[in-house]
Amino acid sequence: MASLSFALAHSLPEIILAAGVLVLVLLGALRGKDSDGPVTEIAVGLLGAAILAIALGGKTTAVVFDGAFIDDGFGRFMKVLTLAGSLVTLVMGQDFLVREKIDKFEFPILILLATLGMLMLISATSLIALYLGLELMSLSLYVLAAFQRDNVRASEAGLKYFVLGALSSGMLLYGASLLYGFAGTVSFAGIAEAAHGKATLGVVFGLAFLMTGLAFKMSAAPFHMWTPDVYEGAPTPVTAFFASAAKMAAVAVTVRVVLTAFPGVTAQWQQIVIFISILSMALGAFAAIGQSNIKRLMAYSAIGHIGFALVGLAAGTEAGVVGVLAYMAIYLVMTLGTFAAILSMRVGGVSVEKIADLSGLARTDGVMAFFLAMMMFSLAGIPPLAGFFAKWYVFNAAIQAQLYPLAVIGVLSSAVAAYYYLRIVKIMYFDEPAPAFDRPSPTLRAVLALTGLLVLFFFVYPGSFIDATTAAAKSLF
Render pLDDT for 347-364 as a digit per residue (tens, 0 to 9): 888 888 899 999 999 999
pLDDT at 2 over 60: no
Q: pLDDT band at 34, cuts 50/70/90? A: low
Mean of pLDDT values over 302-318? 93
pLDDT tens for each residue of 365-376 = 999 999 999 999
Q: What's the pLDDT score for residue 35?
A: 58
Mean of pLDDT values over 327-354? 92
Q: What's the pLDDT score for residue 202?
A: 81
Q: What's the pLDDT score for residue 124?
A: 92
Q: What's the pLDDT score for residue 463?
A: 83
Q: What's the pLDDT score for residue 66?
A: 83
Q: What's the pLDDT score for residue 215?
A: 93
Q: pLDDT band at 275, cuts 50/70/90? A: very high
Q: pLDDT band at 158, cuts 50/70/90? A: confident
Total domains, the chain: 1
Q: What's the pLDDT score for residue 253?
A: 94
What phi and psi, each to the nearest 5 degrees, are found at residue 63? -105, 120
Q: What's the pLDDT score for residue 300?
A: 94
Mean of pLDDT values over 24-48? 81
Mean of pLDDT values over 143-165? 87
Q: pLDDT band at 101, cuts 50/70/90? A: confident
pLDDT at 199 over 90: no
Considering only residues 57 and 380, tell me which one the structure prediction assigns the higher pLDDT.
Answer: 380
Measured at the CA of 256, the angle between CA 107 and CA 135, to 5 degrees, comes to 35
Q: Residue-wise over 286-320: b if at least 16 C-beta within 10 A, else e?
A: bbbeebeebbbbbbbbbbbbbbbbbbbbbbbbebb
Which stretch of 32-46, 263-277, 361-375, 425-439 has the lowest confidence by average pLDDT? 32-46
**What domain range includes position 449?**
2-474
Mean of pLDDT values over 71-97? 92
**Is-cis flag, bond preceding 222, omega within 30?**
yes
Percent residues over pLDDT 70 in the chain: 98
If you average pLDDT over every residue of the chain, what do you get? Answer: 90
Q: What's the pLDDT score for residue 323?
A: 94
Q: What's the pLDDT score for residue 128?
A: 93
pLDDT at 22 over 80: yes
Q: What's the pLDDT score for residue 67?
A: 80
The model's pTM is: 0.94
pLDDT tens for each residue of 420-460 = 999 999 999 998 988 888 888 899 999 999 999 999 999 88
Residue pair 261/134 in contact (Cβ under 8 Å)? The answer is no
